[in-house]
């Protein structure tokens, strides 16, 4: 059984019972391991946002936050237009081909808002890197359960950046763009790590579940 929007998936219950793992237990920002897993293009080095970049992000969020419902819808409509394969990941949207209908969909609006609320939480944690890391890592683990593969994550940052430019107007600068790009690179790298950690956990759990019980041989002495 899967989640409401993504359709059939592996049972979420498996993950609930297992011990909570952290990004650092799983190697933190080791981009090399991610490359081995997915083969997707990775940042060459872990990034740390400079103080100036954090401030730029916070300043643009001050302006943006009242428009997040609209931005959320734009991001997903553009994502589905440019990468229709992403729409197929969503159980509720995969059969809707009319983009006007999608734009008006309450479910899409709610989903866009959930994703934007996550960005809001991330912005609020720019000075608490451990918390930010954990947040994105856990989101990656849940995306494994949604069967949403990491190769698509970076599209969200691209669409977000395009969607907010017209809202921020002259407040959108090359420096602000770079800061947001770095934030999304960081979030998607951590989500990727969470995804692969969850995938490995699930694979080993299902392997254990399939192993036949070893019959005990009666002691003949
Ligand atoms: C930076 C990239 C992304 C972010 C920040 C993000 C964020 C989120 C958030 C906050 C949720 C709400 C549920 C939760 O908290 O676990 C969610 C759900 C979900 N996301 Fe993403 N997401 C991203 C990329 C993607 C992509 C690219 C896809 C598909 C191609 C995707 C597919 C899904 C699906 C299927 C769900 C479950 C919906 C549901 O059952 O309500 N996500 N995402």
pLDDT classification of 72: cutoffs 50, 70, 90: very high
Tell whether 34 is covered by a domain.
no
Q: Which of 142, 148, 157, 192 to mutate to test the pocket of ligand 1 (most atoms within 8 A of CB)?
A: 148
* Range in 40-54, 63-77, 105-119, 199-213 with the lowest mean pLDDT: 40-54
116 assigned to some structural domain: yes
Domain membership of residue 143 (yes or no) is yes
Q: Is residue 25 part of a domain?
A: no
At 102-126, the pLDDT tens digits run 999 999 999 999 999 999 999 999 9
Ligand 1: which residue has its CA nearest to atom 43?
Answer: 115
Identify whether the C-beta of residue 208 lies closer than 8 Å to the C-beta of residue 14.
Answer: no
Backbone angles phi, psi at 173, to 5 degrees: -125, 165
Question: What total number of domains does the chain contain?
Answer: 1
Cα pseudo-dihedral 23, 121, 83, 76, rounded to 10: 160
Q: Is the CB of 113 under 6 A from ligand 1?
A: no
Structural domain including 165 reads 50-197
Question: Higher model confidence: residue 125 or residue 1?
Answer: 125
Residue nearest to atom 11 of ligand 1 (CA): 115
User: Ligand 1 pocket, 151 CB below 6 A?
Assistant: no
Ligand 1 pocket member 90 (CB < 6 A): yes
pLDDT confidence tier of residue 208, bands split at 50, 70 and 90: confident
What's the mean per-residue pLDDT of the chain? 81
Q: Which two tokens stand for residue 96?
A: 């809707």
Inside any domain, residue 130: yes
Phi, psi angle pair for 134, to nearest 5°: -65, -40
Q: What values do phi and psi take at 43, rounded to 5? A: -60, 145
Q: Whose CA is nearest to atom 9 of ligand 1?
A: 115
What CATH number has the domain bearing residue 111? 1.10.490.10
- With 0-12 / 13-18 / 19 or more C-beta atoms within 10 angstroms meaning exposed / middle / buried, residue 164 is buried
List pLDDT tens digits, range 20-53: 455 655 443 444 344 445 444 444 446 579 999 9
Nearest to 184 by CA among 131, 97, 95, 123: 123
Cα first-last separation, the chain: 49
Residue minimizing CA distance to atom 3 of ligand 1 = 153
Confidence band (pLDDT; 50, 70, 90) for 84?
very high
Is residue 215 in some structural domain? no
Does residue 38 belong to any structural domain of this protein? no
Structural domain includes residue 28 = no
Q: SS3 string of 8-57?
A: CCCCCHHHHHCCCCCCCCCCCCCHHHHHHHHCCCCCCCCCCCCHHHHHHH
What proportion of the chain, given as a percentage, has pLDDT over 90?
68
Is the shortest distance between the CB of 115 and ligand 1 below 6 Å?
yes
Nearest to 130 by CA among 20, 18, 29, 16: 29
Between 143 and 7, the more confident residue is 143
């Amino acid at each position: 059984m899967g989640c409401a929007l993504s359709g059939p998936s592996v049972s979420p219950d498996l993950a609930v019972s297992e011990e909570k793992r952290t990004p650092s237990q799983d190697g933190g920002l080791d981009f090399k391991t991610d490359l081995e897993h997915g083969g997707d293009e990775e940042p060459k080095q872990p990034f740390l946002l400079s103080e100036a970049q954090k401030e730029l992000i916070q300043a643009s969020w001050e302006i943006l936050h009242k428009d997040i419902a609209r931005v959320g819808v734009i991001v997903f409509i553009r994502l589905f237009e440019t990468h229709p394969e992403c729409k197929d990941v969503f159980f509720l949207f995969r059969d809707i081909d009319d983009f006007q209908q999608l734009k008006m969909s309450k479910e899409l609006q709610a989903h866009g808002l959930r994703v934007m609320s996550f960005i809001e939480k991330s912005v609020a944690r720019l000075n608490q890197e451990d918390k930010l890391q954990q947040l994105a890592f856990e989101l990656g683990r849940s995306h494994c359960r949604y069967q949403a593969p990491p190769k698509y994550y970076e599209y969200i940052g691209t669409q977000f950046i395009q969607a907010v430019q017209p809202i921020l107007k002259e407040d959108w600068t090359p420096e602000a763009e770079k800061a947001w790009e770095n934030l999304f690179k960081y979030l998607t790298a951590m989500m990727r790590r969470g995804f692969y950690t969850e995938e490995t956990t699930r694979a080993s759990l299902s392997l254990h579940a399939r192993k036949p019980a070893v019959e005990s041989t009666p002691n003949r002495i």
